[in-house]
Amino acid sequence: MPQCLYCFSEVRSGISFCCQSCELLSKWITVGEPPLKNAPLSAKWQKFNEAALTQAFNLSVCPIYGKYRLYIEGLQCSSCVHLLEDLPRYCADVISARLNFSTCILDVETKPSLALGSLCSRIEQMGYDPVPLKQNSDLEAAQNAENKSDLKRIGVAGALAGNLMLLAVPSYAGLSGPLGQLFQWLTFLVFLPVLFYVGLPFYRKAYASLLVRRINVDMMIAVALWAGFGSSTYALVLGTENLYFDSTAGFIFLILLTRYLLKHHQNSIVNSKNIFTGLFENEIYEVEDAGLLTFDQLKENQLLHLKQNQLLPCDSLLTSVVAEFDVSFLTGEAYPQKKHRNDRIAAGSRLLSASASITTLGAAELSELAVSLGRIALAKPGENKIQTQTDIFSHRLTLAVFATAGLFFLATYSELGFEAFRRCLALITIACPCAIAFAAPLAQNLGLRTAFKEGFFLKSAEVFEKLGKIRRVIFDKTGTLTSSHLKLVQTFPPEISDENKALILGLEKHSLHPVALSLKSSWSGSDAENIPDITETTGQGVSADYLGHHYSLSKASGFDQSVNTIQADFSIDGKKTAYLYFEESILPEAETVINDFYRKNFEVMMLTGDRRGRAIEVSKKIGIRPAFVFADQSSESKMQLVTAQNPCLFVGDGLNDLAALNKAYVSFAIKGPFESTLQVSDVYAPKKDLRAVFEIFRLAKKIQTTVQFNLLFAVLYNSVGGILALSGYINPLMAAVLMPVSSLLLTLHTVWRLK
């Protein structure tokens, strides 16, 4: 296997270095270390040098100095750590740099002379892609604190359980007399922190469930913990040998450890409060008489000068005469929308024209988009909440075990005395549904990991169980079944000369219009003519006078909005020379995926905000039955339709799909331009590949089978164990050993099935 020439880690054949750091460090060994230069900043980093944005990202308590947190993409090996932490050596304005390799977070302190944009640009020169981050949200801080607290409890529980087992050895070996008693009292003392510190989370959860009059597993664990302590203390005072301090502590330690591992595997939850701010936090806006402001500083009646490709932060009125906006992710309209002076433009629209002025109608947080996203964020946690099969089973089993133990105690106390209590304790310990509570989440978490490997993230493992009930799949069209980009499908004449291609590309070189993007992509091998002074007329096209001729590429007159094809005419001196035809590009795998769903007897529907004519054309190409195509849908009507079709899986990508995604029994978001927004969905696929939608059902089926087997096993194990415990064949100590054994068996089975 070939090795990296610098760090000697393995690399693919034909490659000399494993990463850019190794290449750079290797070069610097021979030519010496050059300091990082103040290279001209790209537009991306220029805006981060503006005071408004630099301050927003500066975490330093002293506003003069800079303290920035950057997410660094592309970390590979130790050289990356060395190079990035040596930033102060290569860059005199950097005071310190500290990298966390596991989280890819670089903390940098800078002198006042270095702004954020320049810092990022210099890191970019080193071959990395830095992403500035803001202060951790309250939710993240709370999650970190909880994580630390869990770690401490596990460590303490493990240490105490280990010591308790050692202290119990003399008693098991038959030691009696004053020394034997001393060891027994020591186990009592060492057990107290388990009772009053380690057990706290169980008491809290048990109390919380009591408040809502429900019985859960934590209540059973809390009862087992106190019952174990009570019976052992009673035995200790009486001088008998039935002490269970060690087994109870071991039991609590194992439960805490398993829960921590499960929690560690769970996907991080997106802070719904930041859904809206995430869209705009890296944008700054030029405001008349107020300079440059971030989105949250904007107020009503301010005149904003937008640049091409900027996202509108507030609901506004257009002040310019005319401008074109991309609203596809708000409404599902695939084609750019032309707006005139005083037309209302919704927040979330993207400017396609070179520039435009708008007057804000209110602050960003009052926009319709912010309000609807806020509603979604608030509604998400409670709605769609289902009780999973495992929850219901655990709940019923817990009730049954408590009831059986109580009845047994009442019926046999007069006859058996303290033995009745011991048998009940053994029953509660062995029949504790921990095995179910561990094995089902483990199956689901292994499923999450498989899903992650296959390229999609699940917000919660419960999704697997919900998918088992779904027989109807609804797809959004624009951006989900289609790529939301135009595709050059035909030209007349069929072969465009290289000379004309160069002229057309030259006319379109600065444009971000979908037609321009499509041409640049289709003719990526051709060079563009260097045409100066190009005029882009909003909604019409581009034109220029060049070398004595007038060239133009304009939208065909009489263009029918209801058909799927868009036509552009290329003219030289007013004479039409070429005709170009574009269509919405359908994802190549769409037809196969739809057919797969039909083969498995699923009902497939399509929803779109686009015109019916275009929707039907797309549906015919991919095989969705026209009766199940719903066009001209607003965000609200999509939501109502999806609600009526529940339980269904809704697959969408745009902001206009958010309400529907939120109401769907299971929501599946495909990669779109607003990724942070779409991460609120149950399933999120960062790669635009529709096959993931079908794959997730296959995976869910496999997990369901495994979980059902686990439940069946748990019923049999607990029934047999419970009967033996009540008959007196299993004492609480044996129960405390047998309970983790069943957990282990189920865990091994789950890992074997889902490996």
Catalog residues that contact another protein under the rule CB under 8 A: 77-78, 80-82, 85, 99-103, 148, 151-152, 155-156, 159-160, 162-163, 166-167, 179, 182-183, 186, 190
Q: Give the nearest distance from C-beta 162 to another protein in angstroms.
A: 8
CB of 190 to another protein, least distance (A): 8
Q: Are 242 and 422 in contact (CB under 8 A)?
A: yes
| Residue with smaller CB distance to another protein, 182 or 378 | 182
CA pair distance 333, 324, nearest whole angstrom: 13
CB of 136 to another protein, least distance (A): 13
The C-alpha atoms of residue 2 and residue 11 are separated, in whole angstroms, by 6
CA distance 536 to 577: 19
Q: How far is the CB of 244 from another protein (least distance, A)?
A: 20
Give 150 or 419: the residue with its C-beta nearer to another protein: 150
DSSP code, position 688: -
Query: What is the rounded CA–CA span in Å between residue 583 and residue 343?
Result: 28
Query: Minimum distance between the CB of residue 250 and another protein, rounded to whole angstroms?
Result: 16
Minimum gap (Å) between residue 366 Cβ and another protein:
39
Please answer whether residues 696 and 451 qualify as being in contact, where contact means their C-beta atoms are separated by less than 8 angstroms.
yes
Of 99 and 448, nearer to another protein (C-beta) is: 99
Burial of 423 (0-12, 13-18, 19+ CB in 10 A): buried
Under a CB-based contact definition with an 8 Å cutoff, are residues 118 and 45 in contact?
A: yes
Shortest distance, CB of residue 10 to another protein, whole angstroms? 16
- DSSP class of residue 197 equals I
As measured in angstroms, the least distance from the Cβ of 149 to another protein is 9
Spell out the residues 6+ positions from residue 123 whose beta carbon is closer than 8 angstroms to its own.
Answer: 70, 72, 84, 87, 106, 130
CB 422 within 8 A of CB 231: yes
Nearer CB in complex with another protein: 186/257: 186
Nearer to another protein by C-beta: 139 or 156? 156
> Considering beta carbons, is residue 144 or 521 the nearer one to another protein?
144
Identity of the residue, 67 or 753, whose beta carbon is nearer to another protein in the bound complex? 67
Rg (C-alpha) for the chain, rounded Å, is 33
Give, for 552, the enclosing helix (H) or strand (E).
Answer: strand 549-555
**Could you tell me the smallest distance in angstroms from the CB atom of residue 151 to another protein?**
5
CB nearer to another protein: pick between 97 and 544: 97
Task: Report the distance separating Cα 43 and Cα 33, nearest Å.
Answer: 27
Comparison of 162 and 613: residue with beta carbon closer to another protein? 162
Best CA proximity match to 697, nearest among 663, 673, 666, 735: 666
Residue 57 · residue 89 · CB < 8 Å: no
Nearer Cβ to another protein (183/579): 183
Report, in Å, the least distance between residue 214 CB and another protein.
Answer: 32
Instruction: Tell me the closest approach of the beta carbon of residue 99 to another protein, in angstroms.
Output: 6
Instruction: For the CB of residue 341, give the shortest distance to another protein in the complex, in Å.
Output: 55
- Position 43: which residue type? A
d(CA 196, CA 205): 15
Nearer to another protein, 157 or 420 (CB): 157
What are the C-alpha distances in Å from 678 to residues 168, 451, 457, 463, 641? 55, 17, 11, 16, 20
Q: Which is nearer to another protein, 160 or 318 (CB)?
A: 160
Q: How far apart are CA 377 and CA 370, in angstroms?
A: 10
493 phi, psi to nearest 5 deg = -65, 160
The CA–CA distances, whole Å, from 30 to 4, 27, 85, 88, 655 equal 16, 5, 21, 21, 52
Cβ distance to another protein smaller for residue 77 or 351: 77
CB of 89 to another protein, least distance (A): 10
DSSP 7: T
Nearer to another protein, 186 or 616 (CB): 186
Residue 201 CB, nearest distance to another protein (Å)? Answer: 15
Within the chain, what is the greatest distance between any pair of CA atoms? Answer: 114
Q: Which of 506, 406, 459, 423 is nearest to 666 (CA)?
A: 459
CA distances from 23 to 15, 30, 71, 590 (A): 11, 11, 21, 41
Backbone φ and ψ of 366, nearest 5°? -100, 0
Name the strand (E) or helix (H) holding 477: none
Is residue 661 within 8 A of residue 681, CB to CB? The reply is yes
